[in-house]
Structure 1
Amino acid sequence: MGKMAAAVGSVVSLAAEPGEDAFRKLFRFYRQSRPGTADLGAVIDFSAAQTGRGTEPGARKVIRSQLSVSSVSDHDARRAGLQPVSKWQAYGLQGYPGFIFIPNPFLPGYQWHWVKQCLKLYSQKPNVCNLDKHMTKEETQDLWEQSREFLRYKEVNKRRRRSLLEKLRWVTLGYHYNWDSKKYSADHYTPFPSDLAFLSEQVATACGFQGFRAEAGILNYYRLDSTLGIHVDRSELDHSKPLLSFSFGQSAIFLLGGLKRDEAPTAMFMHSGDIMVMSGFSRLLNHAVPRVLPSPQRGGLPCCLETPLPAILPRDSVVEPCSEEDWQVCTNYLKTARVNMTVRQVLAIDQDFPSEPTEENKRDITTEGSCHLGDENGQVKRAKLNSDS
């Protein structure tokens, strides 16, 4: 208890020091944190949450969030691989209205489908990915097929070069997000996956957002040394709709801050299967992922991923079977990685994209708030992550 109190005290003091912004200090603290030590004593774990009690001095209290239980039928929830909404646990944080955290509401085994989709299907062309900047379309045509033999025998040959899937950092779905202009564009639209759209619509509806349309998705693929820098998701043209986040694989630390970076963020764990919803006031808050945490069981997977997908699925399920061979590839990938899907509605009803700015205005576009999967310092870390080491 003494070590944990000391760790919490150091976190509080870091946030209170003058000079550098509080968010960045805590980002660096957790990036360098040591799993299994008191460094993580102030991190909220919603999978073991106790509502109404702060776990450390000055902590924001965990509160229960109300769901619209009757708005999603048990049948539709099961079609998406989810438990009945009545069985979900949903939480919020005092001081963060509109933030909802749902610890793993997936039915046992059904995460297998979504992991496989992220690695095998969603990574395929015509969807755009980070590798497209350095490789031809022919070279990135089927990342799964080019990588699966590498990953199947990953443990046998640890000195092999990284497969293309292991070099994957992001994929965009639906309206493509341009990392340079920080804008969405209809010019590079790809059909949004119907199964992911259905899953997202059920979650949004259960959280009280009727009529949510899944129009864009950004998939982030994390290695154990990956980070996601401090940023705000403000590029969508309709901020009244929520941002949905789905996590699979190794756990990570998520930091949720305020409107400005001088506000100290709250740290929380994201485990496999967890869903976060950012809406209302919390929709435009600073947030980041400073740390991916290796499984306590060296080279292992979270317990929730050890249960196989049922052999017999509902006839109208959007979830598809997953072969043992495919799951072996997914397993070897996830032993040192995590995948995150964020789904957004970009446009309001009857809204269109604005006309493109003139060349003169394009030169004035700021990069403030930009974010890449890698390191807060940008290019140097990304080059390291994309190496063959």
Structure 2
Amino acid sequence: MESASGSKGPGSEMGKMAAAVGSVATLATEPGEDAFRKLFRFYRQSRPGTADLGGVIDFSAAHAARGSGPGAHKVVRSPLSVSSVSEHDAHRAGLQPVSKWRAYGLEGYPGFIFIPNPFLPGYQWHWVKQCLKLYSRKPNVCNLDKHMTKEETQDLWEQSKEILRSPMFLRSLFIFLIFPTFTKKYSADHYTPFPSDLAFLSEQVAAACGFQGFHAEAGILNYYRLDSTLGIHVDRSELDHSKPLLSFSFGQSAIFLLGGLKRDEAPTAMFMHSGDIMIMSGFSRLLNHAVPRVLPNPEGERLPRCLETPLPAVLPRDSVVELCSMEDWQVCSSYLKTARVNMTVRQVLAMDQNFPLEPVEERKRDITTQSFCHLDGQNSQVKRAKTNPDS
């Protein structure tokens, strides 16, 4: 509907949104290609700022559980174990008191928890710096190790930071650093120590969600540019699937699709913004999921607003968070203006399990569970296969 002056009224926007949601629903039920892949392709080609994204759930919106948008009826509040994490320990990890967090779940996805940015203002700076500067160093392994010499991959931060400071940083090595892994590699002969600060952060988040006794043992960093995607896959490689998978997002926003046990089940789409945390446990632990789209900032090449606040100059004495120099943040911010970083943390073993004598990926690799992350298709031909956490 248009107003008398010819301008479009709110009813017109609601009509467009309803039409877009209807087309998505129709697309998912059409015969032929599986429903998940159809919607993956739809969101991969979606146009930000249009009704294409009208069906995507935004948990960060005020009173998300009461929203009127498509999919809002699925959103439910998720309880938190407030007493399991002291305010002091939360602060040590750079988190708000758990009593101030908002946590949501989705009907039909038991075990899925979404926490919109629970970080204290400025504290994301530390975790971004760790993802780009520290966790990418040796002895942690990455997908480049099979294609470059040890000297070339020894310290990717040092090799990239001068380029990242300039506007012409598209050929930085970080573009190609898709799956660096700080992990025990699921076998004793590939042991690398897990970062103590990330272990502490992960264990506080897990405890707040009711998973006391969670041990952070393995992690993966995925670096996305604006035209990167993460294909449809299931994370199966852990020996113990009863423990949750924790996912942390920093930088530009993305669309996350959470589907069912089979790909013919249409997925639910949701936004992931900087600072958001997702937990997949129980039934949701082995569901198909994917990232079809990283979204450019609608205000141009700039950081999300939550990353514009600097880290406090004074930190708690026993904080696991460290100060971030302006020199380091200049590199980080240059990168994240057109990029996104995601880190997932897992517990690999149950209390009575040991690492196998041979790497799990050699025994359990299944070509049907592979997915691909496409990097900067317009700037390079790099395409790396992802075969779950050991890739």
Q: Is TM more than 0.5 here?
A: yes
Deviation at 1:224, TM superposition (A): 0.5
- Flag the 1:186–1:370 CA change in 2: closer, same or farther, 3 A: farther
Task: Give the residue type in structure 2 aligned to 1:347.
Answer: L
C-alpha deviations, 1:323-380, integer Å up to 9, x for none? 011000000000110000000000000201334399xx969953121234328xxxx9
Residues in 2 aligned to 1:381 and 1:220: alpha-carbon distance in whole angstroms: 19
- Contact kept, 8 Å, 1:54 with 1:61, in 2: the verdict is no
Deviation at 1:165, TM superposition (A): 2.0
Residues in 2 aligned to 1:281 and 1:60: alpha-carbon distance in whole angstroms: 20
- Flag the 1:206–1:297 CA change in 2: closer, same or farther, 3 A: same
In structure 2, the partner of 1:179 is none
- Flag the 1:166–1:356 CA change in 2: closer, same or farther, 3 A: closer
Task: Give the residue type in structure 2 aligned to 1:384.
Answer: Q
Residues in 1 aligned to 2:28 and 2:329: alpha-carbon distance in whole angstroms: 42
Q: Quick one: which of 331, 349, 352 aligns to 1:350?
A: 352
Residues in 2 aligned to 1:76 and 1:363: alpha-carbon distance in whole angstroms: 40
Q: Quick one: which of 220, 223, 240 aligns to 1:221?
A: 223
Gaps of 5+ in 1: 177-183
Root mean square deviation, CA, Å: 2.2
**Residue 205 in 1 paired to residue 207 in 2?**
yes
- Flag the 1:372–1:381 CA change in 2: closer, same or farther, 3 A: farther
Task: Give the residue type in structure 2 aligned to 1:211.
Answer: G
In structure 2, the partner of 1:243 is 245
Residues in 1 aligned to 2:263 and 2:174: alpha-carbon distance in whole angstroms: 33
Matches within 5 A, 1:169-208: 169-176=178-185, 184-208=186-210
- Contact kept, 8 Å, 1:170 with 1:373, in 2: the verdict is no
365-374 vs 279-288, which deviates more? 365-374
Task: Give the residue type in structure 1 aligned to 2:381.
Answer: K
Residues in 1 aligned to 2:378 and 2:240: alpha-carbon distance in whole angstroms: 32
Deviation at 1:18, TM superposition (A): 1.0
Gaps of 5+ in 2: 1-13, 385-391
Deviation at 1:185, TM superposition (A): 2.8
In structure 1, the partner of 2:295 is 293
Task: Give the residue type in structure 2 aligned to 1:239.
Answer: H
**Residue 50 in 1 paired to residue 64 in 2?**
yes
Q: Quick one: which of 276, 279, 290 aligns to 1:277?
A: 279
**Residue 41 in 1 paired to residue 77 in 2?**
no
C-alpha deviations, 1:249-274, integer Å up to 9, x for none? 00000000000000000000000000
- Flag the 1:213–1:364 CA change in 2: closer, same or farther, 3 A: closer
Residues in 1 aligned to 2:266 and 2:170: alpha-carbon distance in whole angstroms: 40
Q: How many residues align?
A: 369
- Flag the 1:383–1:232 CA change in 2: closer, same or farther, 3 A: farther
**Residue 163 in 1 paired to residue 172 in 2?**
yes
- Contact kept, 8 Å, 2:85 with 2:204, in 1: the verdict is yes
Residues in 1 aligned to 2:83 and 2:156: alpha-carbon distance in whole angstroms: 41
Q: Quick one: which of 288, 311, 314 aligns to 1:312?
A: 314
- Contact kept, 8 Å, 1:245 with 1:275, in 2: the verdict is yes
Q: Aligned to 1:139, what secondary structure does the other structure show? A: helix
Deviation at 1:26, TM superposition (A): 0.1
Q: Aligned to 2:284, what secondary structure does the other structure show? A: helix
The percentage of aligned residue pairs carrying the same residue is: 79
Q: Aligned to 2:36, what secondary structure does the other structure show? A: helix
Matches within 5 A, 1:73-112: 73-112=86-125
Q: Aligned to 1:342, what secondary structure does the other structure show? A: strand
In structure 1, the partner of 2:9 is none
Task: Give the residue type in structure 2 aligned to 1:147.
Answer: S
Residues in 2 aligned to 1:54 and 1:285: alpha-carbon distance in whole angstroms: 26
In structure 2, the partner of 1:369 is 369
Task: Give the residue type in structure 2 aligned to 1:370.
Answer: Q
Residues in 1 aligned to 2:374 and 2:346: alpha-carbon distance in whole angstroms: 22
In structure 2, the partner of 1:335 is 337
Q: Aligned to 1:276, what secondary structure does the other structure show? A: strand
- Flag the 1:27–1:211 CA change in 2: closer, same or farther, 3 A: same
Residues in 1 aligned to 2:273 and 2:42: alpha-carbon distance in whole angstroms: 20
- Contact kept, 8 Å, 1:116 with 1:327, in 2: the verdict is yes
TM-score normalised by the chain length of structure 2: 0.90
Task: Give the residue type in structure 2 aligned to 1:327.
Answer: W
Q: Quick one: which of 118, 143, 151 aligns to 2:164?
A: 151
In structure 2, the partner of 1:180 is none
Task: Give the residue type in structure 1 aligned to 2:161.
Answer: R
Residues in 1 aligned to 2:374 and 2:188: alpha-carbon distance in whole angstroms: 27
Deviation at 1:384, TM superposition (A): 2.0
- Contact kept, 8 Å, 2:256 with 2:272, in 1: the verdict is yes
Residues in 2 aligned to 1:111 and 1:211: alpha-carbon distance in whole angstroms: 25
